[in-house]
Amino acid sequence: MHIDNGWLQRARRVPSPNQDARPAGEVSLLLLHAISLPPGVFGGEHIERLFTNRLDPQAHPFFATIADLRVSAHLLIRRDGECVQFVPFEARAWHAGRSRWRDGGVERRALNDFALGIELEGDEVSPYTGAQYRVLAAVTRALLDAYPSLDERRITSHARVAPLRKNDPGPAFDWAYFRQEIERIRS
């Protein structure tokens, strides 16, 4: 995988307005999320519509509760491994919300300032697909190579940075397998 000017070359681009400049330009955390819209339903255009402020609140009862959110992520990895990029990696996507991260004993907040957000199409209970793990590992390896301040100790979940508010990617995410796939790419 190759990153050029903040864009993953193999990703389909769907630019989100929900982004801005990083205050310090730092990229030092990779934050993994899970999303399905409506909850528990995979496929379709609803995630892209949410991240581009075009979600129809009438299309599903759940959508009425989230249609006014202004959120995004850098990248979405669909169940079949397709990558959709909404925000260049150098920009700040709006994905972490109220959260905090301990980095070298120092508590940090405003994680969007320095974190990359990757959404996996899924939920907290359904197993993720082999294609998702392979693509996520390849993307992660490309990000580790492109951003020197990012390392494998700085890869975590939304659940770990917002434990009282979020639980994604959830217990269905196999961290050991993911790390094994990263190592396989390295060798």
Would you give per-residue pLDDT tens digits along the chain (187 residues)? 899 999 999 999 999 999 999 998 899 999 999 999 999 999 999 999 999 999 999 999 999 999 999 999 999 999 999 999 999 999 999 999 999 999 888 999 999 999 999 999 999 899 999 999 999 999 999 999 999 999 999 999 999 999 888 899 999 999 999 999 999 987 5
What is the residue extent of each domain of the chain?
A: 3-186
Instruction: Tell me the residue type at 43.
Output: G
Residue 45: DSSP 8-state:
S
pTM value is 0.97
Cα Rg of the chain, angstroms: 15
Predicted pLDDT at 103: 86
Active site amino acids = 119
Burial of 108 (0-12, 13-18, 19+ CB in 10 A): middle
**For residues 3 and 89, is the Cβ–Cβ distance under 8 A?**
yes
3-186 classified as CATH 3.40.80.10: yes
Rounded to the nearest 10 degrees, what angle do helices 175-186 and 130-146 cross at? 60
Burial string for 112-130 (b: 16+ CB within 10 Å, else e) reads bbbbbbbbbbbbbeeebbe
Predicted pLDDT at 187: 58
Neighbour tally for 150: CB within 10 Å: 22
Predicted pLDDT at 86: 98
User: Of 138, 143, 150, whose CA–CA distance to 182 is shortest?
Assistant: 138
Max alpha carbon distance in the chain (Å)? 49
Predicted pLDDT at 136: 98
